[in-house]
Structure 1
Amino acid sequence: MSDDRSDVIIVGSGLNSLVCAALLAKKGIKPLVLERNAVFGGCIRTEELFPGYQHELMASWYPLFLGGGAYAKLKDDIAQAGVEFIDNGYTTGVVLPDGRSLALKQDIADAIQRLDGVAAGDGALIGAMADEIFNKNGELLFGLLGGSPYQFSTFKLLFQQWRKRGMDQLMQFAGQALIPFRSWSQKHIKHPLTEALMAPWVLHSGLGPQDAGSALIGKLTFAAVVGGGMPVVKGGGTQLVNALVSIIEKHGGKLLANTQVDQIIVQNGKAVGVEAGQKTYMANKAVVCNVTPTQLYQHLLPNVAPEVTQAANNYRYGRGAMQIHLALSSRPAWANEEMLNVPLAHLATDLDQVSMSVMQAECGLIPTQPTVAVGQPAAVDPSRVPEGGWIFWLQIQDMPRVLKGDAKGEIEVDATQGWTEQVREQVADRIVGQLENVLPGLSEQIIGRRVLSPTDLEQLNPNLVGGDIYSGTCSLDQFFWFRPFAKTGAVKGHQTPIKNVFHIGAATHPGPGLGGGSGLLVADLIK
């Protein structure tokens, strides 16, 4: 048994865990963070994959964090620790397979003008959409996403909105929130280029264009990026992790790596500590778990009511993802040189292509033409590459979690073996080939390549089940009040059946993304 007692034990060291620990430590509650891996940070992991090239293995962009409540509370501490968030005034863009492209700045008015120049009428649509999100519905939308579903403040917000709008308008808002992006796009968007620009952002919430609720989430994500920017951490996300670790330690908290927590110790209905291998760590106040519902209720807290176990077993994970890291000897030869400024663009054709690739992945097939998120971190932070060099951070969010075959019939797949090294590299060849079609000579520029399949991603972080980088699909039955699942017994939101055990992370409200929201909400609950 460890002789050192802590006030709160936090299982896992992702962003939500570090935020929670830092906030607790600052108010005098001593946390102990236990991490199974050799490094802290969860999905934030910067590595020099090739000499002089600093790559983000998984997460890379921080608009949610800078716009959220966790950063507001820790901003000064993070700055004092030497962390600098930077952007370059550009946000997103799109490149079509025929080479046509569009780059957008961090400016809604400019985006309207640029889009109307290549897709007449769609610029005005974007303007109306942004006004609806930020002005007409901003208070309600961001209030719901930023607060806890079960706190009085949320019910107060709904009551105020009912007084302001009336029941009919509230019901209209709810009805509009259920519309799939595909239906909204077919009704309102006029040009395929605009479809290709916006539709991929739906995938960044773990949904597909055909899913209920994806119109609201897709529009919100796109508008937030264009309006708020795509900042990165200068030098890599590990700088932020190190800063949060230093804040925790400065205020009396501790962190241990290479420590796999096996079970929570419960006595008389209260958690008193955890078992990790041959060691026991005791907690005076609470245990906080940044894990999936499957891990929580099958391993850490196995002896719960049958209905809770069943709800956890019913929790669904979404599509897999793939990361491809390319180190280039020189800048890519975009036909439109302005694309060199874009932090994160997408290589896509139109709404049908994005929808088809999602459906193929959900059927277990490697898509014929995956949608490719093309990240260019060196466009924002040149310090990550040698002079003249470049990095492509490619993320493909329409990969099958359970691999059954290849929609194109070119890659031989053994469903019993899944994501083998050979399959992984052949899929990467297809994706790099798609990119080279719009960037002739790309293969000659590549001096280093590393590919992470869905299986590789889960090995790096067990919360990414089957390579699902969102730790569970964000369909309407697993979102907001229903994340990870609807109230079951004593389980609701972040509260588990054990009163002083709390659940945080991407599988809980407000869901995935580098925001730190659940860590903030639970830190506020622990006194």
Structure 2
Amino acid sequence: MTNHYEVVVLGGGHNGLVCAAYLARAGMRTAVLERRHAVGGAAFSEEVFPGFTFSVFSYGLQHLYPQIIHDLELRKFGLKSVAYGDLFSPTEDGHCLITNDDVAATSKNIAQFSPRDAEAYPKFVDFHNGLAVYLRHLGTEVPPDPTASTFRDVTRTLAFSWRNFGLRTKLFDFAELMTQSAEEYLSHWFENDAVRALFAYQAGIGNFVGPHSRGSALACLYNMLTDHSHEIPRGHVIGGMGTVSKALAASAQRLGVEIHTNAEVEHVIVDNGKLKGVATKDGREYRAGIVASSMHSKILFGKVVDRKHLPDDLLQSLEKFNTVGTNWKINVACNRPPQLKCLGSDSARPVSAFVHIGPTIDYLEKAYDDAKYGKFAQAPWMTVATPTYLDKSMAPEGKHVVNLYGGHVPYKLREGDWSSHRSEFIQTVWKVLDEFVPGFTNEIIDYQVLLPIDIENILNIPGGNILHGQMTPDQLFSRRPYPHYADYRTPIQGLYQCGSSCHPGGGVTGLPGFNAVREILRDRGKKRSPI
């Protein structure tokens, strides 16, 4: 059976849905092909145990580009979020550092650990926000190829330089971030180890780095980015992260997009050097002059596109793209929520919906060291998020769901394999929880464990890196996913990329899909863009 469209989008994750919706908004007949039984990719909710619904993979809304929310009317289609509120960071000596978006209140809490750091914190926030403005803007730019010599590429590079002329004042700051470790960067600001660890924690999210790793300062800053436009609160999405994908799908379908699930693409059809569409494993063909792929770059170029259509430089870069994942996730159904030891036992204690366990720089570094040598962390750092404090719909009355996310674990163990060591790793996680959240493991009803190998198998992400590839300086901007191919185009005319393998990278931003649309429409000569 053959179907005909103007555009076929490969992958129904949030980036693919964003791309499809905007292309349909531009008047193009568009279809989305999703390998799994439902859209969403990593932004996916599921009733894993009877009555218990989880954000199975990604678990918080922090980076979604506000214009996408507005343009696609996502609130109209059910997107609603609630701020997490306070972040609790317990220390090894029984204290707790509490932070939130209120700079003055956070400074007051930091003063209990270091008066000097309390004074430095507002300056740190201002400095960080100044850099964040530029990083958020760069996220919406199409990276130029500084090595290209064609007239079009040179003019685009010059235009990019002119648009971002103000960035020159921040170049030294960015140079430091790209070369410094998170520990070095944070030590310029703070003296207290618990305060430094609070921020250094961010570097390991999606990245196989420790706080002493070169370049981890930039990874730290990227994961600290949030959007303060107030288009929608950052935090927990009501109904879980699948609500984001459902809202995107509903918006896209209203615009005329056809969504096909259980449609795994087998190969891209290229005839006499021209793109003709794609074929799925069930024998169907979807003909189109434009194909936009949100699937992982290594899957697209390593399996779906015949290598004879690809140049040597891309194939070489394909092998170098670091997609190793070392983060894990455990989704827990429980009788009662975690209760931090450091908050005491009185009924008036604050609700701890969001907790970071990673009390010192050394604690974070040791977790990295263990995985570096092929072992899982003996004391893993972790986020403990309890969305049912904010959203009662996700569990039966009186029960709770808890998302545990942490690091590090090796993709492959040096000795043995995960089938024989999985239960040992889980006991290590429970041991850390019992130290900081005593009694919680006795309240567990059931749990789902997701290691990098599981993420790889379920989501078709090589290496199991939830960000599609590490967000380190060598894999960002004009080098993401590969040098010379960072502008969402590929060597095959009409074939584009629009997923997290591309700039600006992973996280639920929607920006790879958003940016790819502009380039697709530019190549089509569309004078009026929906963006």
On whether the aligned pair clears a TM of 0.5, the verdict is yes
Deviations 1:249-300, CA, capped at 9 Å, x for gaps: 2222111111111111113433210011253433433101112222122222
CA–CA distance in 1 between the matches of 2:202 and 2:449?
Answer: 22
Quick check: 2:9–2:32 contact (8 Å CA) kept in 1?
A: yes
CA–CA distance in 1 between the matches of 2:219 and 2:498?
Answer: 21
For 1:385, give the aligned amino acid.
A
Instruction: Sort the Cα spacing of 1:322 and 1:171 in 2 relative to 1 into closer, same or farther, 3 A.
Output: closer
Q: How far 1:69 sits from its partner (Å)?
A: 3.5
Deviations 1:359-380, CA, capped at 9 Å, x for gaps: 3213321112111111111232
2:382 equivalent in structure 1: 372
1:355 equivalent in structure 2: 365
Q: How far 1:342 sits from its partner (Å)?
A: 4.1
1:310 equivalent in structure 2: 316
Q: How far 1:157 sits from its partner (Å)?
A: 5.8
Does 1:484 find its partner at 2:481? yes
**Equivalent residue in structure 1 for 2:77, among 70, 78, 81:** 81
Q: Secondary structure at the match of 2:221?
A: helix
The worse-fitting range, judged by mean Cα deviation, of 11-20 and 238-247 is 238-247
1:218-297 equivalences in 2 (<5 Å): 218-222=220-224, 224=226, 230-297=234-301
Quick check: 1:119–1:193 contact (8 Å CA) kept in 2?
A: no
Q: How far 1:33 sits from its partner (Å)?
A: 1.0
Q: Secondary structure at the match of 2:112?
A: helix
Deviations 1:317-371, CA, capped at 9 Å, x for gaps: 2332221111121233323178863443211131122122113213321112111
Q: How far 1:521 sits from its partner (Å)?
A: 0.7
CA–CA distance in 2 between the matches of 1:317 and 1:62?
Answer: 23
For 2:189, give the aligned amino acid.
H
CA–CA distance in 2 between the matches of 1:443 and 1:140?
Answer: 43
The worse-fitting range, judged by mean Cα deviation, of 143-152 and 30-39 is 143-152
Q: How far 1:50 sits from its partner (Å)?
A: 2.6
Quick check: 1:103–1:339 contact (8 Å CA) kept in 2?
A: no
CA–CA distance in 1 between the matches of 2:157 and 2:512?
Answer: 15
2:40 equivalent in structure 1: 41
Q: How far 1:480 sits from its partner (Å)?
A: 1.0
For 1:12, give the aligned amino acid.
G
Q: How far 1:512 sits from its partner (Å)?
A: 0.5
Figure out how many residues of one structure are paired with residues of the other and give that number.
Answer: 502
Does 1:188 find its partner at 2:185? no
Instruction: Sort the Cα spacing of 1:92 and 1:438 in 2 relative to 1 into closer, same or farther, 3 A.
Output: same
**Equivalent residue in structure 2 for 1:469, among 461, 466, 469:** 466
For 1:468, give the aligned amino acid.
N
CA–CA distance in 2 between the matches of 1:340 and 1:11?
Answer: 45
For 1:173, give the aligned amino acid.
D
Quick check: 1:69–1:517 contact (8 Å CA) kept in 2?
A: no
1:323 equivalent in structure 2: 329
1:143 equivalent in structure 2: 137
Stretches of structure 1 lacking an aligned partner (at least 5 in a row): 406-413
Instruction: Sort the Cα spacing of 1:441 and 1:56 in 2 relative to 1 into closer, same or farther, 3 A.
Output: same
Q: How far 1:400 sits from its partner (Å)?
A: 0.5
Deviations 1:493-516, CA, capped at 9 Å, x for gaps: 311101211112221100000111
Quick check: 2:326–2:410 contact (8 Å CA) kept in 1?
A: yes
Does 1:392 find its partner at 2:402? yes
Instruction: Sort the Cα spacing of 1:35 and 1:223 in 2 relative to 1 into closer, same or farther, 3 A.
Output: closer
1:81-160 equivalences in 2 (<5 Å): 81-88=77-84, 90-135=85-130, 137-150=131-144, 156=159, 158-159=161-162
CA–CA distance in 1 between the matches of 2:460 and 2:13?
Answer: 12
1:176 equivalent in structure 2: 176
Deviations 1:451-476, CA, capped at 9 Å, x for gaps: 1222222111112x232222112221
CA–CA distance in 1 between the matches of 2:259 and 2:161?
Answer: 39
CA–CA distance in 1 between the matches of 2:226 and 2:518?
Answer: 26
Quick check: 1:22–1:248 contact (8 Å CA) kept in 2?
A: yes
Quick check: 1:319–1:397 contact (8 Å CA) kept in 2?
A: no
Stretches of structure 2 lacking an aligned partner (at least 5 in a row): 145-152, 522-531
Quick check: 2:370–2:377 contact (8 Å CA) kept in 1?
A: yes
Instruction: Sort the Cα spacing of 1:207 and 1:124 in 2 relative to 1 into closer, same or farther, 3 A.
Output: farther
Instruction: Sort the Cα spacing of 1:442 and 1:282 in 2 relative to 1 into closer, same or farther, 3 A.
Output: closer
CA–CA distance in 2 between the matches of 1:424 and 1:49?
Answer: 19
Instruction: Sort the Cα spacing of 1:217 and 1:121 in 2 relative to 1 into closer, same or farther, 3 A.
Output: farther
Quick check: 2:177–2:185 contact (8 Å CA) kept in 1?
A: no
CA–CA distance in 2 between the matches of 1:157 and 1:93?
Answer: 41
Normalised to the residue count of structure 1, the TM-score between the two structures is: 0.88
Q: Secondary structure at the match of 1:502?
A: strand
Q: Secondary structure at the match of 1:473?
A: coil
Q: How far 1:398 sits from its partner (Å)?
A: 1.3
Quick check: 2:367–2:407 contact (8 Å CA) kept in 1?
A: no
Normalised to the residue count of structure 2, the TM-score between the two structures is: 0.88
For 1:183, give the aligned amino acid.
E
For 1:272, give the aligned amino acid.
K
Quick check: 1:479–1:509 contact (8 Å CA) kept in 2?
A: yes
Quick check: 2:207–2:326 contact (8 Å CA) kept in 1?
A: no
Q: Secondary structure at the match of 1:374?
A: strand
1:201 equivalent in structure 2: 202
CA–CA distance in 2 between the matches of 1:9 and 1:273?
Answer: 7
Q: Secondary structure at the match of 2:286?
A: strand
For 1:325, give the aligned amino acid.
N
CA–CA distance in 2 between the matches of 1:457 and 1:295?
Answer: 14
CA–CA distance in 1 between the matches of 2:229 and 2:183?
Answer: 23
Q: Secondary structure at the match of 2:270?
A: strand
Instruction: Sort the Cα spacing of 1:268 and 1:91 in 2 relative to 1 into closer, same or farther, 3 A.
Output: farther
Q: Secondary structure at the match of 1:79?
A: coil
Instruction: Sort the Cα spacing of 1:288 and 1:446 in 2 relative to 1 into closer, same or farther, 3 A.
Output: same
CA–CA distance in 1 between the matches of 2:229 and 2:490?
Answer: 37
For 2:213, give the aligned amino acid.
D
CA–CA distance in 2 between the matches of 1:111 and 1:371?
Answer: 22
Q: Secondary structure at the match of 2:481?
A: coil
Quick check: 2:486–2:502 contact (8 Å CA) kept in 1?
A: no
Quick check: 1:322–1:467 contact (8 Å CA) kept in 2?
A: no
**Equivalent residue in structure 1 for 2:438, among 437, 440, 447:** 440
1:408 equivalent in structure 2: none
For 1:130, give the aligned amino acid.
V
CA–CA distance in 2 between the matches of 1:244 and 1:520?
Answer: 13
The worse-fitting range, judged by mean Cα deviation, of 137-146 and 272-281 is 137-146
Instruction: Sort the Cα spacing of 1:41 and 1:353 in 2 relative to 1 into closer, same or farther, 3 A.
Output: same
